[in-house]
Amino acid sequence: MVDMHGNSPKSLRQDLLAQRKQFAASASYPAAQEAILTSFSRFLADYDAQIQTIALYCPIQDELDLRPALLAWAANKAGKTLSLPFARPDKHLDFYAWQEGDLLIPSRHGVLEPDPNNPRRPQATPDCILIPCVGWSKSPSGDRNHYWRLGYGGGYFDRTLTQLRASNPSLLCVGIGFDWQKLDDAQWQAQTHDEPLDLLLTESGLLR
C-alpha cells in the first residue's frame, strides 16, 4: 500500500499519515482494529507478571486507541499503573501516572499530555512502553529479527529509550502498527540513533 519514490523521510511520513487517514475510514479498518485489540489483550495476559507500569499514548492522527483495553487491565489488577508521556524542552520524555478523567494539556505538537505539576499524579517509570508507528521495518540480525519504528521525526522516544534501557535492560518497548505500514530498505532504513522495538503488534499478531 505504501508508495514511495526515493523521497525524503518527511514526505514519506506525509504519505503514510495520509494513507492511515484513508485506512481508518475504510471498510477494512474495523477488522484490523479488532485483530490488534485481541492480540493486545493476549499480550497483556502473557506479560502480566513482568509489567507493573505501562506507558501509553493519547492517539492523534488516526492512531489506534488502546486506552479502553488498558483501563480495563489496570482496573482488574492490584498495583498496576498507567502513565502518559510529557515532552520536555530537551526532547526527552517524562512519564506521569494517569487515570481516566485526568485533565490533560495539549503540547505544542497537539498531543494531550499530563500536567507535570499535578501533586496527585507522580512521575512513574514504565517497564513497558507502547509506541504508535507511522511506519515500520524489519531487519534480520543473526537468528532473530529486529523491528524498527518510523515516527514523527522528533526523536523523543529514541532519546528516552536509550536512557531507560540503560537503567532497566528488561524494559519492553512495543510498537503498534498495521501490516501495510511495513517499509523496505529502498523506502527507509533505520539510522544508528534509532532504538529497536522489542515487539511489534499488528493485525497479524505479536511479532517478536
Annotated binding-site residue numbers: 63
What is the Cα–Cα distance from 21 to 78, expressed in whole angstroms? Answer: 37
Buried/exposed 73-90: b ≥16 CB within 10 Å, e otherwise:
bbeeeeebbbbbbbbeee
With H, G, I as helix, E, B as strand and everything else as coil, classify residue 110. coil
CA distance 129 to 171: 8
Residue 83 parent element (H or E): strand 81-87
Give the cell for residue 3: 508508495
Please give the span between the terminal C-alpha atoms of the chain, in angstroms, as a whole number: 23
Binding residues for substrate: 63
